[in-house]
Each structure stands twice: as structure tokens, then as C-alpha cells.
């Protein structure tokens, strides 16, 4: 049973558009919600993360929106660029930051 | 350069032949983890370690062993590999105390090891 559910599986966006990836979780003990970006042949790299005490976190073109009551969080990529084409994973962790649960991934393709 | 290294990067083996995948980090991190990545399933945590001689099971530990005898190394051992362990494996390290992190206990991943068990 997947602890973190991610959608869509794949996403095609035109250059300059907004990419939106959604995740949902059930376990209310989760206390940390990172997003990872993975390019082909590379390991995942932390992109942006949020704690449940805030509803939004922004870093440049990347924003996490967090809805604690709905147990959902999403990644928004503004002004999407071809260089953003990668696989994105959401994740959730407990307070000890030792156990991590990842979503199934979203393959983003930004068309020039 | 701060990094996590894994060896080998590619490995093809046969069922039942014991193998070890090494992982080493040069950032003095306390926490280390092993993950496997499979299409449609994302990354799943196999084992994690919070410090030397402290290890615990992740989500999918069956068929794997780990040890943490030194802070920098965290090898993954498959005593009797089976075809269902064919996967892409990642090692990661992190620290609540590191000055290099952007976020608390930020995980840094290695480049991956692609394992095929015939």
C-alpha cells in the first residue's frame, strides 16, 4: 500500500506554462514533505521542501502548496522550461527524518 | 567535492550468488539509507542507519542486509539474490547538523547502481 499517492504519472507542458503535480497522504504523523527532481542517469536531488506548519513555500519558480486538512500537497513550476524536463517525486517523512515514503513519480516533458 | 559514491554502477549476476554494493559518503553524515527504484513504484526505502552500529528496517527489507561499521560506509548485501531484486538502487546520506544542507536533514543521493539478477 503506497503511503504517498502521486499524480499524474506523466505531464506534457509547453514552455512558459505552469506544471502542477499533486500528492496525497494518509498518515498524520508525517512531518516533512520534500520534492525531489531526477534527471536520467542521475540520483534524485532535493528541490524544495515544506513542513506542515505553513501552507506555501516558494523558491524561485518552484512552489509547494500544502493543505493539511485535506492531507494533500502539490508542486507548481511556473514559467516551465525545457531544462525542467525530469522526473519529480514527492515524499513524506516522520519527525525523526529517518523513514521516507516516496510517491510513484511524475515524468515531466516541457516542449520548446 | 561533497558526494555519495556507489560501486559498482552496473552489475549483472545470477540467482543465489552473494553480492555487495558499496556506498561511501565524505560529508561526515550521521544518517544513511538504501532505496530501490522501480517503474511505477517510485523509491522505496530498504534500510536506514542513524549512526555507526545503528540500523533499522525500511519499507522493503526482505532479502537484504546492511552494516554500519564506519560512519562513512554503508554497504548493501544481497546474500542470495533473486530476479525480483532486479532494480535500480540508490544510497543516500544526510545530517541534522550539516552546514551544507538547505533543509533540515537534507538527503544527498548517490548516482545509483543498476542491478540485474538472472
The full DSSP string for B2-27 is: --EEEE-SEEEE-TT--EEEEEEESS
Spatial distance between the Cα atoms of A64 and A72, rounded to a whole number of angstroms: 11
**Residue A44 and residue B33: Cβ atoms within 8 Å?**
no
Of A2, A44, A103, the CB nearest to B109: A44
Asked if residue B14 has pLDDT above 80, the reply is yes
Of B45, B103, B110, the CB nearest to A99: B45
Spatial distance between the Cα atoms of A5 and A21, rounded to a whole number of angstroms: 11
Cell numbers for A88: 519529480
Chain A residues within an 8 Å CB radius of B103? 34, 46, 49
- Mean pLDDT in residue range A2-30: 96
State which residue of chain A sits closest to B3, comparing Cα positions. Answer: A43
Asked if residue B35 has pLDDT above 80, the reply is yes
Q: What does pLDDT average to over chain B?
A: 94
Give A2's pLDDT tier (boundaries 50, 70, 90): confident
The predicted-structure confidence for A44-96, as pLDDT tens digits, reads as follows: 999 999 988 899 999 999 999 999 999 999 999 999 999 999 999 999 998 77
Asked if residue A97 has pLDDT above 90, the reply is no
Mean pLDDT is lowest, of A27-31, A85-89, A106-110, for: A27-31
Amino acid at each position: 500500500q503506497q503511503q504517498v499517492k502521486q499524480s499524474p504519472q506523466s505531464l506534457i507542458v509547453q514552455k512558459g506554462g505552469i506544471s502542477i503535480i499533486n500528492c496525497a497522504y494518509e498518515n498524520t504523523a508525517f512531518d516533512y514533505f520534500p520534492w525531489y527532481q531526477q534527471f536520467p542517469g542521475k540520483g534524485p536531488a532535493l528541490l524544495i521542501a515544506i513542513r506542515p506548519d505553513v501552507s506555501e513555500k516558494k523558491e524561485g519558480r518552484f512552489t509547494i502548496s500544502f493543505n493539511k486538512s485535506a492531507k494533500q500537497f502539490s508542486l507548481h513550476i511556473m514559467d516551465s522550461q525545457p531544462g525542467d524536463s525530469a522526473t519529480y517525486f514527492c515524499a513524506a517523512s516522520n519527525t525523526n527524518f529517518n523513514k521516507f515514503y516516496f510517491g510513484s513519480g511524475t515524468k515531466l516533458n516541457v516542449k520548446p | 567535492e561533497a558526494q555519495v559514491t556507489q560501486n559498482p554502477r552496473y552489475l549483472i549476476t545470477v540467482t543465489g550468488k552473494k553480492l555487495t554494493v558499496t556506498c561511501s559518503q565524505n560529508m561526515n553524515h550521521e544518517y544513511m539509507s538504501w532505496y530501490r527504484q522501480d517503474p511505477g513504484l517510485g523509491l522505496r526505502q530498504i534500510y536506514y542507519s542513524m549512526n555507526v552500529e545503528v540500523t533499522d528496517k525500511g519499507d522493503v527489507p526482505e532479502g537484504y542486509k546492511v552494516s554500519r561499521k564506519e560512519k562513512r560506509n554503508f554497504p548493501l548485501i544481497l546474500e542470495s539474490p533473486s530476479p525480483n531484486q532486479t532494480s535500480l538502487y540508490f544510497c543516500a546520506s544526510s545530517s541534522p547538523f550539516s552546514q551544507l544542507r538547505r533543509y533540515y536533514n537534507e538527503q544527498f543521493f548517490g548516482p545509483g547502481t543498476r542491478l540485474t539478477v538472472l
